[in-house]
Amino acid sequence: MDKGSARAAGVFFVLAAVTAIAALALYQPALTDPGYVLGAGADTQVLLGGWLEVVLAATCIGTAVALHPVVRRESESLALGYLCGRLLEAAVICVGVVATLSLVTLRQGGGPQDVPVARALVALHDWTFLVGPGLVIGVNSLLLALLVHRARLVPRWIAVLGLVGGPLVLLSSTAVLFGLLGATSPWRFIAALPVAAWEMCLAARLIARGFDAPPSGVRPGTLATPALT
C-alpha cells in the first residue's frame, strides 16, 4: 500500500533528524560565542549549518507531500492541517536560517557597534527554534499520529508515541515560552524524547515495511460497525 510514498516519507524523517542535529552543532560558534562578530568567526562552519537547515526545511515539506495522498483518505481536513503545519514549520526554520547567516555578514564587515544587532539576531534564532521545532512540531506530530492511528496505517504503539509525544513537546515549549521552564531545562529534553522516538520508529517502519493495510471491511475514514441483519 503506497510503498513509494511510505519510504520517501521515512527517508525524509531520517534526513530531518540528521540535518537538525548537525546544523545546531555547527551553529554553536555564532550562537554562543560573544566574540564571533568581533572577528573570531568560523564562517564556513556556520554557513554549512545554514545550508543543512535549508535541507531540514525541505524535508519538512517533503514529508508532508509524501504522506498527504495517503492520510487524506482518512480525513481531508486533518491531512490539510498537517500539510499546512509542515509548511509553517519550514518557513519558521528558514527565518532562523536567515537570522543566523546574517551574523556571518556582520562578522565580515562590522565592529563592536554591531554586537547589539548580533544579540538580536541570536534571540531571533532562539525564538524560531522554540516556535518551529517546539510549538509547531508538537501540533504536527499530534495531527499525523491521529491520522495514522485512525486509519490503522502503522502499529498502535507507534501511533501512541506520537499521540503522547506531540502534546508533551507542545506543553514543554509553552512552558518555556511563558518562563515556567528554562530553554536548557532537562525537563524540556525529557519531554522531547517521546516525539523523537515517534519520528524514528515511524521512519524505520515506513522504510522497512511501508503502511499497514486497513483491516478487512474497514474503509479509511470510517469505524468498523456490526453488519445489520
Tens of pLDDT, residues 57-79: 999 999 999 999 999 999 999 99
Tens of pLDDT, residues 68-116: 999 999 999 999 999 999 999 999 999 999 999 999 988 887 677 888 8
227 pLDDT higher than 60: no
Output the pTM of the full model: 0.89
Q: What is the mean pLDDT of residues 145-162?
A: 96
Tens of pLDDT, residues 162-216: 999 999 999 999 999 999 999 889 999 999 999 999 999 999 999 999 998 865 5
125 pLDDT higher than 80: yes
Largest Cα–Cα separation, the chain: 82
Non-local (6+) Cβ contacts of 54 within 8 A are: 94, 97
Return the domain boundaries, the chain. 3-208
* Mean pLDDT taken over the chain: 90
How many helices (H) and strands (E) in the chain? 7, 0
Extract long-range pairs of 125-129: CB within 8 Å, 24+ residues apart. 125/27, 125/31, 125/96, 125/99, 125/100, 126/31, 126/183, 128/92, 128/93, 128/95, 128/96, 128/99, 129/96
